[in-house]
Amino acid sequence: MDQVAFRSDTVLSDVHLLLPNARHLMARLNSVGQPVFVSKFRILREEEQVEVQDSVKSDLGVLLDEDGDLVVTRKPNRMLCDREKIHPVILSQAGEAVSDEEDDEAEDKECAKDIIRIEHTMATPLEDVGKQIWRGAFLLSDFILSHPAVFQEATVLELGAGTGLASIIMARVAKKVYCTDVGEDLLSMCQRNVALNSHYTEPAAERGVKVRQLDWTADDFLTDADAEFGWSEEEVADLHDNTTFVIAADVCYDDDLTDALFQTLYRITSNLRSPSTAYFSIEKRLNFTLRHMDVSCEAYNHFRLCLKQLADMKDGKMKFTVEPVPCSFPQSFQYERVDQLVRLSASGCMDGCMERWVCGWMNGWMGG
């Protein structure tokens, strides 16, 4: 196999089509035969952030043509650096990712701490989309980097972490991050990414990212002592006692899973000792549907319906507020911050608590 094979059910993240990497090597095949890459992403300096944002603003056009048809704006003409399409070659079909030691030696040591390495796939069937990097993860990471004081010394839970990018960025400032998803193959990839980026989180000796399984369709935490990504009783207690933030990026693409997500949120957050805030980053994906005979964002619409139910819920125990978060913060990674990227927050606390809870969501859902 020397080429990427695409099938009718293949989902492709355009984050991976054009990357600013000088080096983009296919490292191995995962258990289902998908090519696996290790890509490097550099956190931009302040002057580069301004240049990228100005470039994107000047290149984005209107979304409708003269006939009123949808025009999805793609790749800005000018970016920070020239990017060419990558033609990957498989280096090996088994084993661990290829070492970047020679490349590391050539890097400027002062900039090495700002290099994030992520193992990922480029295309997957729908059930494996967590193995790709989506724009929502970059947007959420930008928000974390722009508001480090908000998360300083906090205990954070990430839901549907995928490759673990946002958890890795969060671990720079948070006290502890529980990075969760489901599937041993995906969780193993996430664990390797945490190890690949120990140089980034290293300054905080007490900090750590714990990769754990959290199945939204299950009724409780996996506490099997023999499970590689199971929870200990101490970790479950720590989560409930200390978590004040929940984050999630691009996790709503299936209505049943979205329902399960909100049910899981209610189950966990109703047991938290402190009021909590959740931040969602999601991309509105526009599709023409025969049912509507129009362009719609069905997965996003269902997600917003769930948020509305969350804000309207009155069960005598929990209270929530939901707010949009303007995407005006600096862009620290090089990607397309399209208009369809949305940040929402919701806050929740036990009914009757008087804490100030703006920006953030969390703590509950309603059946249905």
Note the pLDDT tens digit of each residue in 151-207: 999 999 999 999 999 999 999 999 999 999 999 999 999 999 999 999 888 755 456
As a whole number of angstroms, the distance between CA 260 and CA 334 comes to: 32
- Residue 93, pLDDT > 50, answer no
DSSP string of 171-210, one letter each residue = TTTSSEEEEEES-HHHHHHHHHHHHHTHHHHTT-TT--EE
The answer to which of 76-85, 140-149, 191-200, 281-290 has the lowest mean pLDDT is 76-85
Mean pLDDT computed over every residue of the chain: 77
Q: What is the pLDDT of residues 349-366, one digit of tens each?
A: 655 432 222 333 333 232
CATH number of this structure's domain 134-368, picked from the four choices 3.30.70.240, 3.40.50.300, 3.40.630.10, 3.40.50.150:
3.40.50.150
Task: Check residue 277 and give its pLDDT.
Answer: 94
- Residue 26, pLDDT > 90, answer no
Helices and strands (H, E) in the chain, number of each type:
11, 14
As a whole number of angstroms, the distance between CA 332 and CA 283 comes to: 18
As a whole number of angstroms, the distance between CA 75 and CA 323 comes to: 29
Map residue 62 onto helix, strand or coil: coil
Q: What is the pLDDT of residues 218-253, one digit of tens each?
A: 989 999 989 999 999 999 999 999 999 999 999 998
Using pLDDT thresholds of 50, 70 and 90, give the confidence band for residue 98.
very low
